[in-house]
Structure 1
Amino acid sequence: MVHEGELLWTPRPEYAAASNVAQYMDWLRRERGLRFADYHDLQRWSVTDIEGFWSSIWTYFDVQSETPYTSVIDRKVMPGARWFEGSRVNYAEHLLRHEGDVTRSANRTVFHHLSETRELAQMSWGELGNQVRVLATQLRAMGIQPGDRIVSYMPNIPETAIAMMATVAIGAVWSSAAPEFGVKTVIERFSQIEPKLLFVADGYRFGGKDFSREQEAQEIVSRLPTLKQVVWLPYLHADAKRPAKARLWSELLDQPAIPRDAFRYERVPCDHPIWVVFSSGTTGLPKAIVHSHVGVLVEHLKLMHFHINLKPESVMFFYTTTGWMMWNLVIATLLTGSASVLYDGSATHPSPDRLWRLADVTRCTSFGASPTLVQIMDKEGLRPGREHDLSALEGILVAGSSATPEVFEWLYRHVKRDLWVTSQSGGTEICSGFVGATPTLPVYAGEIQARMLGMDVQAWNEEGRRVVDEVGELMLGTPSPSMPLYFWNDRSGARYLEAYFERHRHVWRHGDYIKFNERGGCYIYGRSDSSLNRYGVRIGTAEIYRCVEQLPEIVDSLIVCLELAGGRFFMPMFVELRTGCELDERLRERIGELLRRQCSPRHVPDQIYQVEGVPYTLTGKKMELPVRKILMGTPIDKAMSRDAMMNPSTLDWYLDFTREQREMLTG
């Protein structure tokens, strides 16, 4: 069994030297006379000389602007810092700039795409570029202006990517909801931003079952009074009933080709919105987070090149839906000139190795999934490295929640030994990562390799002091470009301030627990707002899950801490067991002893209960805080949204438990 912090992989010297970040360091030495001993030295410079670092990103990647910028950053204060004032850029223009790469053919593949509805196919850079230009021109003809909001209720297919790029190309503002979202969740999001046009598909297929969205589409259209246009995509059935006055996707795209030099991108100012992305919305109204073109452009150029190490010959896959910010990053792959793999469907249908088969046939170089999905693969007994040709695979990206040492171990044991396994952590708030990976550093079990470039990430204790080798709050000391411009309908900034700056006026408090070690690696220990308080000691939930889920009987687990009357605490644990297993006294004792031995006596729950399942958000995160609120008596409609859940039926057990244990929970 691998232990936390155990060395698992060291990059070959030639691999590290050929990496994008190493090439960038060589450029800094040649062009700017800057020499750095290693990645950590470079990272320290990137957060102390903010102007020098971000101006180098601008120059190194040859950002195209209508006008020169007057300053890299107007003031080093959060929130409110303005980036690259005076510039006028367009994010979509940079996504498609590699279409015209004179050294490569426009016929090369930009998208490999597969779904449970369609066979595997490819789209070329030339096809993509033309369809984006045609659709963007049609949107302009329909009266869409810069700043108008365009929303999507579509699956992870090329049409959705085309719609997003066409929207951004003309300066309109994009927002997306995945088709598995229920009407309530969609309306909670889209009604906030008053969209003018909706792209909608008639449904999707998952796990071999069709899910029609004809009725949902009708209701969404009826409840968004600002809509002027609807574009309908018959994805499941050619004869699906569309909303009144909706125009067919095929009609809009059936137009003469538009050459690259005949199309004008709307280059926009530094504070022009590119999209609105939403928090998960498990409680309350989702936060409508607004980013800028220039902010996400420079951030994604840095992220995709230096922290995911994509190159023009790369092929990237990440298992996501269009309702998660990881979908935006899959499209950001295009900034590097590499290809993306789009997949719409179940990760385990018709066989548990569905995604590895896809990685094999597409010659995937970078494969991504959540740690939860990797754990499912482990429990299914998959052996991808033995059963599939993964010779092209160079890296694995795990994101969405904390990755345990066991996740790392499984990937190295059953996928590939020479593999750059990367765990990264960030958030929808910045549409990127705070801490992540670099191909020039070793990989240690369960450890995130480093702070990302330009991210002044720190761990603070409760006294507000920066700490090392101690769990603290994840704080950001200086601004970064892809921080939100604002929240929609929060022009005073009150909700934005409350979310991240309530405790410290000019320091970003993200809400995660993090620990850095002396070598600069780090561990995420879960959300601080769902942390456990045991006799005044704060405990992250991730360390408990990692320990308990070693036991072969346990499929999944969830733990919360409840504050009861009289200053008392009650910490129950809920476990889902393998078929045929029972939570008897012996298993309870084994769980307690394991936690006591590997963690501490404070980690041992007060009671352990067997449940039918653990509730998850649609992005694969355990719903600790909503479950805690339900157990404390919060009405379910105020504690969470069932439409924002992956498995809403699991809630019924917790609701019954709350009713049965009301006296104990409130007494």
Structure 2
Amino acid sequence: MTKTFWKCSDEELKKSNLFNFEDFLKKKYGLKHNNNYEKLWKWTIENSAEFWKSIWEFSNVKGQLGNRLIQFSEIFYKNEFLSDSKLNFTENLLPKNDNSLAATFISENGYKENKTWSDLNVDVIKISKLLREIGIKKNDRIAAYLPNCIETMEAFLASAAIGAIWSSCSPDFGTKGVVERFSQINPKVLFIVDKYFYNGKEINVLSRSKEILKNIPSIKHLIVIPYPGTDISKENLNFKQISVLEWKNILNCEDIHMNFELFEFNHPLAILYSSGTTGKPKCICHRTGGVLLQHIKELYLHCDINPNDKIFYFTTCGWMMWNWLVSSLALKASIVLFDGFPMYKKDDLLVEIANAENITLFGISAKYIDALRKSRITTINKFNLSNLKTICSTGSPLSKDGFNYVYQNIKKDVHLASISGGTDIVSCFVLGNLYQPVISGEIQNKGLGMDVDIFDEKGNSIKNKKGELVCKKPFPSMPLKFWNDEGDKKYKDAYFTKYENIWHHGDYAEIKDSGGFVIYGRSDTTLNPGGVRLGTAEIYSEVEKFDEIIESLVVGQSWDNDIRIILFVILDTKYNLTEELIMKIKKQIKKNASPKHVPYKIFPIKDIPKTKNGKIVELAVKQTIEGDQIKNLEALVNPDSLNQFKNIKKLYE
């Protein structure tokens, strides 16, 4: 039985951006205003070109809106939206220039720094001028090895302002991971932080620069940024044929006037990277206008962000949610950037920040919600959170227990918007909206303008059945290209091999009668015992209900010409994996999922392999227990964790 947690009041709905957007469409196109999300979504699919043009007009994008709404192609990813339109991404992200608050930085140790819109404008202009002075031109690549701080955001905006192509990695990436990514794109500039802090530990980054520069000869300029609130680390930075600049000297420039050059709508903006868990990371190049319109649509219409709202997302600059967060500036909202361990000295540190900073949109991961739940943290009476309107959850499927926890222990009258998309589109396929209720375990619906569906193996559209998440029509935030991809082979292999000319995203999911979506996990980690396809999320949601279990990982092991399910669990230190506990786990999975979901064997472990963004890597464990080679250990934050899966004798009985 479905449980409804939240529904937008009629009063709030009529004040919402989505409601006003329907009014806008009614006046412009005669669209009947009926507050029905499915009908509105259908119009945006049937009138795709007009819809994306309307996003530009409704949100007052700065630039030149052309006449060519869409340049059609028979090849899905070759369709181009607004190809004769022009804009400057940075000009649109600096819509204000006054002394009101634009950004706040908070470190795990409590250091805090504010920047006004005036400060932000001045700094971005100064950095842009410096980049031009050292010879950086349109389409040159700028790399950043930086934490989630204001300086990173300013460097990104300066790069976009002059038409350069930005690419960033967070400092938790090791030298090999950075080289593996940046060496593919040949950047001319590297912004690097001297150090960072995580869980109370200071970690030197600048000492890695020698190895990075040795392996990426295209870098001619190194710009060193001290970690906020600290003095710059002393390091010998005498490199032949490489200029070394300090951040403070850049900001000493006095000329603070700049005319923003307009670039084509499909001009490259940034290069993001695939996780690299199955080989060398793919370099995904995103376009300026497509990213801007998609982010405005999601933040303005779906999340109802308004001027003076305060937006927080727990992320690093190596994850697409960082790009999404920064785009909030376009709506005259201010953003709060946090860097460090999210549970440093207190489990509810981020919720405390949300309260202290009067956050209106609080973005976190499903894993963080689960961690709070496991810690039995109740903040509902501890903090006010009166300004909090929306909680976004992403990174992995949010379980029904996660939904329950948020409404029982964080805030009762909040819009819990679970969202899902990816680095591939630097945005969402499915997310929240104010027209529909929040139902336990479901993502509310498809994004406007996104023709999302679920297909069976034969390419038939299905409902109330599990299948493959697809997108049937082009959209503006498709990748412009993959870098170094002759004949678009990597691009086509990534999304267009399963169904002809249909975007196949690689998520195993289901559409419910409500229109809501349930994501069961990645398609390549689904389990197939006896040829029956099962989602890993269904097992995780049951296992993690146990107080004895902190976290779990499930894989399908090839065995006797079939697949058998193997479950690994991290136990609370107070417990052991007894036969009694094993039987309790199996019984609960059988009762609440199905007999086919029951694991054949269960083993205790100490750690779970994860990517830099905190995502569990089931595939690496499956490969390890089956003796296959792991192609890219550098993609993991804790590669040594795989050692515990080797030579488990009982796995082969």
If the length of structure 2 is used for normalisation, what is the TM-score?
A: 0.96
Give the superposition deviation at 1:177: 0.2
> What is the rounded CA distance, in whole Å, between the counterparts of 1:41 and 1:568 in structure 2?
45
> What is the rounded CA distance, in whole Å, between the counterparts of 1:124 and 1:300 in structure 2?
22
Give the superposition deviation at 1:13: 1.1
What pairs with 1:245-644 in structure 2 (closer than 5 Å)? 245-258=243-256, 262-564=257-559, 567-636=561-630, 638=631, 640-641=632-633, 643-644=634-635
2:163 to 163, 168, 171: 171
SS for the counterpart of 2:187 is coil
> What is the rounded CA distance, in whole Å, between the counterparts of 2:110 and 2:124 in structure 1?
21
Mean CA deviation greater in 274-283 or 424-433: 274-283
Q: Is the 8 A contact 1:370 1:620 kept in 2?
A: no
Provide runs of 4+ in structure 1 moved above 6 Å. none
> What is the rounded CA distance, in whole Å, between the counterparts of 2:64 and 2:454 in structure 1?
40
1:217 to 209, 222, 226: 209
Q: Which amino acid aligns with 1:628?
A: K
Give the superposition deviation at 1:58: 1.9
Q: Which amino acid aligns with 2:617?
A: M
Give the superposition deviation at 1:62: 2.5
> What is the rounded CA distance, in whole Å, between the counterparts of 1:257 and 1:131 in structure 2?
11
Give the superposition deviation at 1:481: 0.4
1:196 to 188, 198, 205: 188
1:79 to 56, 63, 77: 77
Distance 1:518 1:85, change over 3 A: same
- Give the total of aligned pairs: 646
> What is the rounded CA distance, in whole Å, between the counterparts of 1:345 and 1:632 in structure 2?
36
Structure 1, residues 335-356: CA drift from partner, whole Å, max 9, x if none?
Answer: 1110100011111112222112
Structure 1, residues 558-611: CA drift from partner, whole Å, max 9, x if none?
Answer: 1111224x5232321101111121111111111111111111111011111111
- Please, which runs of 5 or more residues in structure 1 have no aligned partner? 101-105
What pairs with 1:23-102 in structure 2 (closer than 5 Å)? 23-37=20-34, 38-66=36-64, 68-75=66-73, 77-96=75-94, 98-100=95-97
Q: Is the 8 A contact 1:135 1:163 kept in 2?
A: yes
> What is the rounded CA distance, in whole Å, between the counterparts of 2:457 and 2:562 in structure 1?
22
Q: Which amino acid aligns with 1:281?
A: G
| 2:237 aligned residue | 243
Give the superposition deviation at 1:454: 0.6
Q: Which amino acid aligns with 2:627?
A: G
Give the superposition deviation at 1:255: 1.1
Structure 1, residues 130-160: CA drift from partner, whole Å, max 9, x if none?
Answer: 1001110110011000000000001001000
SS for the counterpart of 1:121 is strand
Q: Is the 8 A contact 1:77 1:479 kept in 2?
A: no
- Please, which runs of 5 or more residues in structure 2 have no aligned partner? none
> What is the rounded CA distance, in whole Å, between the counterparts of 1:109 and 1:656 in structure 2?
56
What pairs with 1:85-234 in structure 2 (closer than 5 Å)? 85-96=83-94, 98-100=95-97, 106-116=98-108, 119-234=111-226
Mean CA deviation greater in 208-217 or 420-429: 208-217
If the length of structure 1 is used for normalisation, what is the TM-score?
A: 0.94
> What is the rounded CA distance, in whole Å, between the counterparts of 1:527 and 1:28 in structure 2?
36
SS for the counterpart of 2:521 is strand
Give the superposition deviation at 1:635: 2.4
Matched, 1:6 2:3: yes
Q: Percent identity?
A: 35
Give the superposition deviation at 1:631: 1.5
Give the superposition deviation at 1:117: 5.8
Q: Is the 8 A contact 2:555 2:566 kept in 1?
A: yes
| 1:103 aligned residue | none
Give the superposition deviation at 1:547: 1.1
Q: Is the 8 A contact 1:55 1:72 kept in 2?
A: no
Q: Is the 8 A contact 2:311 2:325 kept in 1?
A: yes
Q: Which amino acid aligns with 1:250?
A: K
Q: Which amino acid aligns with 1:623?
A: V
SS for the counterpart of 2:264 is coil
| 2:643 aligned residue | 652
> What is the rounded CA distance, in whole Å, between the counterparts of 2:599 and 2:178 in structure 1?
37
Give the superposition deviation at 1:15: 1.4
Q: Is the 8 A contact 2:529 2:562 kept in 1?
A: no
> What is the rounded CA distance, in whole Å, between the counterparts of 1:129 and 1:648 in structure 2?
41
Mean CA deviation greater in 154-163 or 264-273: 264-273
SS for the counterpart of 1:230 is strand
Mean CA deviation greater in 216-225 or 185-194: 216-225
Structure 1, residues 45-100: CA drift from partner, whole Å, max 9, x if none?
Answer: 1111111211211221222334624233433741211121112222111111x214
Structure 1, residues 392-430: CA drift from partner, whole Å, max 9, x if none?
Answer: 111100011100111111111111111101100000000
Mean CA deviation greater in 350-359 or 287-296: 350-359
